[in-house]
Every structure is written in structure tokens, then in C-alpha cells.
Amino acid sequence: MNPWLLWAAGVLAAIAAVLLLVLWSVRRHRAPVLEMQCEGDMHARMVSLAGLSLGTVVAGNSAQLVFDDAFFEAAERQIDAARHSVHLENFLWKRGQVATRMSRALCDAARRGLQVRILLDAMGGRRMGRAGRRQLREAGCQLAFFHRWSLRNLGVLTDRDHRKLVITDGREALLGGHCYTDAWLAERAPATEPLRAYDVSVRVRGPIVSTLQGAFSENWAAETGELFAGEAVFPVLAPAGGLAMHAAYAKPERSAPAVKILHHAAICMARQRIQVQNPYFIPKPEAIDAFGAAVRRGVQVRVLMPAIQATDNVVVNLAARRNFGKLLRCGVQLFECEKGLIHQKIMTIDGAWSAVGSSNFDDRSFDTNDELTLGIFDADTAAQLDALFDRLLQCARPVSLREWERRPWCRRLQEHACYSLRQLL
């Protein structure tokens, strides 16, 4: 063989090895094995939880849960009532009834002279269509896309903006799991959206909104270079209620992302009950160990997820099943809901603290995506979310260890194959 070809092949192999080493090193720094011990009363533990997830406890807020397709009316009302600014960030926007309604509200706001900034993930927002983009921009909306496909973004294309957030006037925010597609509507066209999505978001007022505005600013500035300021977007906020909250969204370069620390630390801090509602539940081995340790402390651990016939991503569902045996042997109770796509991303701890946001319980959300989760110190909010869990159990079935161990070999092979792709799903 030509020695020049051998030399070139050797150089390319060396470059590839270095790139793989760099990627492995980045992921190693971002995905450490998390361990912790925590004592003290609930308040002390929850303050620690906020600090560990790179946030701070903010007092003086109010919270109102918004369920299923009532979210879109709530978002429209909030935008219609805005007087100075509207900021919207979301992962998914697809042409249909919901997109038409939201476009109308946003365009009307821009025509009233408001600052309207819209940030969509480039992958999830690609089905907005050229006409939809033109309509928003011609009305005066500023529209940007997170990590467009380009050579400049080649190294970050797997990093998606998975946050779901609406902020008006810097005073009121809606965040949770809702996306802008007709799948979330009770009345929709089955031909285009055969599977209905169920979800939970939360409307908040009070000083915590400034923190959420800062989260929006982070990605907006990264994509547009614009730093916004002033009373229209960052007003001085008086207390709006009696609730303490904290937000997790930071993603340090050489450490675990805040949402990952938040969920893992919350498991370790539980003393009575952990309830998880999540559509994509693929915990890492250390999280499984943390769940098992919680059960040994006397904590009841229950997880609700969609059944395989009620998911929009069969590959993720199969990957999740691979570790059912480990979880069940640890004493974790697993339930599969057959009602539809249970899309809410919720965790409650001891009936006193709740996490509501955009983060799935998997590698992609914890290690790669940009996410936003709100921690709420409030027994009433936790009670509402626990009551939702109990209602959904009526259309769910428990997963038994015996049933899981008797599944056919073809299913086991599918689960292992899908699990090997978990960091890409």
C-alpha cells in the first residue's frame, strides 16, 4: 500500500481517537456518580436541595397547577393580558389548532407594541413551517431557533432546548411539560394525532419569576446575542403569595447539570414517600441504588409511566423496561398507565415538596438537554399532584416482578438493544 495513504490513515485514526477521548472526557465530567448523606428536618433538607441544584430558595410566590389542554387557554389569557413583554420558549411547535391559537395571541401582542421574543428548539420547531415563521416575524415578533443545523453547531447538535416556558411582563410565568401541538387537545383529529397527551404545568407569580426570566435570557442571549433589561422584563417584584420556590436549570461545563442533581438529591432526602410521574423513565444505576436505599429507610417509592401502547416513543419505553427487574427487587412500585401519553414530569417528596418542569428521568434530560424544573415547598401543591397520581392509578396496572421475569426472549433482546441507545434517545 502507498506509504502516504498509510500515513494519512494513521493521522485520521489519531484525530478520531482524540475526538472520542474529548467527548468521553466531557461526558465523564458532566456525569459523575452522585452520592450523598443528608440529615435534619424537612426545611433544612429542602434548603440544601435548592443549593445543591445551583439555585436559592425564593420566598413570596404563588402557584396554580394547570392540567391538560386547559394550559392553552391559560397561556392565551396570560399573553392577551400582557402590557410590556412576552417571552416564550419551547421544544416542540407543530402546525395545527394549537399553533394557530398561539400564533394569533403572539402576533396580537406584537401589534400592540409589546416586546415579543420566541425561542424554539430548531429540531422540535422545524414543523412550524415557512408561513408560520413569516407570520410571526411580519407581526413584529422576534423569533429564534436553538442550535440550528449548521457547521457552527456541529458539536452541540445533540444538545436540545427542552424547556417549556411562557413569561409575561417579567411578572407571571407558566412552565411545565406542555408543547404546542394538537396532541394535547381532547378534541383533535385522530388521523394526525392518534395519541392524546396529558400534562401538568404551573403558573407562578412573585420574585421567582425573575429567576425564570434569567433562565430564558441564558439561551436567548446565546442564540441572538441580545441581553434585554429594564422594567418591561425585569420589574421589581413584590411578594405574591406565601410559597418558597427554587429553580434548577444551570448546566456547568465540568459538573453535573442542576436538574440531575435536583432529582437525585430529592430521592436521597425523602423520609416517607416518593412519587414520580414521568413519560420517559430510565434511571441510571446510581439513581436505582438511591431508590433502593430510600425503600430500605422505609420510604414508599411509586413510579407512574405510560404503557407501551400509550407512548409516543416505543424505543424509549423498551429501554426503560430493561431495568424494571432491578427497580422491583429494590422495592420500587411501578405502574403503567394505559389512558394515554402521561407526559407530565413530576416528583413529590413526603407530601411537602414538588418538582414540576420539563425534565424527563433519563440520560438525555439529565446530561444533555437544556431543561428547567421548579421546586415548590408547599403541602397543598404536593397534595394536588399526589391526588392526580392516585386518579391515574385507576387506569394503570402494576408491573409485577414475576411478569417481568417471564417476558419472552425476543422482548428482552429488544429492551437491551434500545437501552444501549439511551444516551441518544
List, for residues 262-311, the tens digit of each pLDDT value: 999 999 999 999 999 999 999 999 999 999 999 999 999 999 999 999 99
- For residue 392, the model assigns a pLDDT of 97
For residue 392 the three cell numbers come to: 391515574
Residue range 201-231, pLDDT digits in tens: 999 999 999 999 999 999 999 999 999 999 9
Range 61-224: architecture per CATH: 2-Layer Sandwich (3.30)
- For residue 99, the model assigns a pLDDT of 97
User: How far, in Å, CA of 106 to CA of 24, rounded?
Assistant: 42
Q: Is the pLDDT of residue 26 over 60?
A: no
pTM score of the predicted model:
0.90
- For residue 194, the model assigns a pLDDT of 83
Angle at 246 between CA 109 and CA 119, to 5 degrees: 35
User: How far, in Å, CA of 74 to CA of 66, rounded?
Assistant: 8
Residue range 318-367, pLDDT digits in tens: 999 999 999 999 999 999 999 899 999 999 999 999 999 999 999 899 99
Residue range 88-99, pLDDT digits in tens: 999 999 999 999
Interval 79-83 mean pLDDT? 98
Q: Is the pLDDT of residue 28 over 80?
A: no
- For residue 149, the model assigns a pLDDT of 81
- For residue 424, the model assigns a pLDDT of 72
Q: Which residue has the higher pLDDT, 186 or 224?
A: 224
CA distances from 15 to 5, 11, 19, 29 (A): 15, 6, 6, 21
For residue 233 the three cell numbers come to: 422584563
User: How far, in Å, CA of 259 to CA of 31, rounded?
Assistant: 12
Residue 380: partners with Cβ closer than 8 Å, 6 or more residues away: none
Q: Which residue has the higher pLDDT, 140 or 253?
A: 140
Neighbours of 221 (CB within 10 A): 12
Interval 181-193 mean pLDDT? 85
User: How far, in Å, CA of 389 to CA of 376, rounded?
Assistant: 17
- Topology alike, domains 34-55+250-419 and 61-224: yes
Q: 157 pLDDT band (50/70/90 cuts)?
A: confident
CA distances from 18 to 24, 253, 424 (A): 10, 19, 21
Taking the domains of the chain in order of start, what are their residue ranges?
34-55+250-419, 61-224
> Average pLDDT, whole number, for the chain?
91
Q: Which residue has the higher pLDDT, 165 or 420?
A: 165
User: How far, in Å, CA of 151 to CA of 368, rounded?
Assistant: 19
- The correct answer on CATH 3.40.50.620 for the domain covering 34-55+250-419 is no
Give the closest residue to 166 by CA, choosing from 358, 343, 342, 344. Answer: 358
Q: 25 pLDDT band (50/70/90 cuts)?
A: low
Residue range 85-127, pLDDT digits in tens: 999 999 999 999 999 999 999 999 999 999 999 999 999 999 9
Q: Is the pLDDT of residue 20 over 80?
A: no
Q: 27 pLDDT band (50/70/90 cuts)?
A: low
